[in-house]
Amino acid sequence: MKTKRLLFIPALFAVFAFLHSCAADIEPEWRPLFNGENLDGWDIKFTGYELNYNYNNTFRVEDGLLLASYDEWDAFNGEFGHIFFNESFSHYKLRVEYRFVGEQIDGGPGWAYRNNGIMFHSQSAASMELNQDFPRSIEAQLLGGDGENERPTMNVCTPETHIMIDGQLRTEHCINSTSKTYHGDRWVTVELHVYGDSLIHHIVEQDTVFTYHNPQLSETGEPLKSGYIALQAESHPTQFRKIEILDLSDRHE
């Protein structure tokens, strides 16, 4: 009886080791940041307005979609808006489904036609100045076609930041990706694969269209290792139906 008990103990440890190895191999799950019902978990900041003042009811949820809508505006006068998820992330994959609809509001700048963006490694909404137009961040710029001209999406823009491409510091404000142009009001699926302050990939419909590294603050060169995620309201109506994240931080601690 004693011999059987002694044999059982190593077998039990072997089972525990196997279960532990299986758990380590389980992929983390995608987590929705937008719940399809309301704006819980999100903060809003418009140029010239206090935190969480939702100017002209721009950001709202209808029919399961998160809208940046201008149907309650008369004209645009520089009131740039951003909606921030209220958690900071460092290593992750972000998936967003978006489309542009309708007409740009009167007064919107020409460059903002069918223009939105995913701001990431961003400062928080609460830390923005009252009259600040854009958060300090890296932007994955979302563009829609005008029906005629080439207009790639998932470009990179850098408000108060810089990036490196192939070892070279790039200081241009915006650099185009290699994506194709998406005309009309069609849904487009994009992903960001963000690995702290090292490597970043922009992906459009499963095609990698941009890769860069070493995001940093333009003024000091300080590495951007983490930050908040935000979407924009820049004068053209935009709809989002999926915003989800695969948090990889546990694998990089």
Question: Quick check: 90 and 251 in contact, CB under 8 A?
Answer: no
Per the DSSP assignment, residues forming a β-bridge with 52 are: none
Cβ-Cβ contacts under 8 Å for 171 (sequence gap 6 or more): 162, 218
Q: What per-residue confidence (pLDDT) applies to 25?
A: 55
In the chain, the domains with their CATH numbers are 31-252 (2.60.120.560)
In tens, the pLDDT along 121-137 reads 999 999 999 999 999 99
Does the pTM surpass 0.95? The reply is no
pLDDT(159) > 50: yes
What dihedral angle (degrees, nearest 10) is formed by the CA atoms of 52, 58, 136, 250?
80
Question: What's the confidence (pLDDT) of residue 27?
Answer: 64
Q: What is the pLDDT of residues 66-105, one digit of tens each?
A: 999 999 999 999 999 999 999 999 999 999 999 999 999 9
Q: Is the pLDDT of residue 175 over 60?
A: yes
pLDDT tier at 140, thresholds 50, 70, 90: very high
Q: Which CA distances in Å does 241 have to 63, 163, 229?
A: 9, 29, 16
* pLDDT of res. 60: 98
For the chain, give percent helix, strand, coil, nearest 5. 15, 40, 45
Residue 6 neighbours by CB distance under 10 Å: 9
**Mean pLDDT for the chain?**
92
Q: What is the pLDDT of residues 108-123, one digit of tens each?
A: 999 999 999 999 999 9
**Token pair for 128:** 């923005």
Residue 24 has pLDDT above 60, yes or no: no
State how far the alpha carbon of 136 is from the alpha carbons of 20, 26, 104, 112, 146, in Å. 41, 35, 25, 18, 28
Contact 96, 83 (CB under 8 A): no
Rg from Cα positions in the chain: 22
Residues 6 or more apart whose Cβ sits within 8 Å of residue 238 = 67, 68, 98, 99, 100, 101, 116, 142, 231, 232
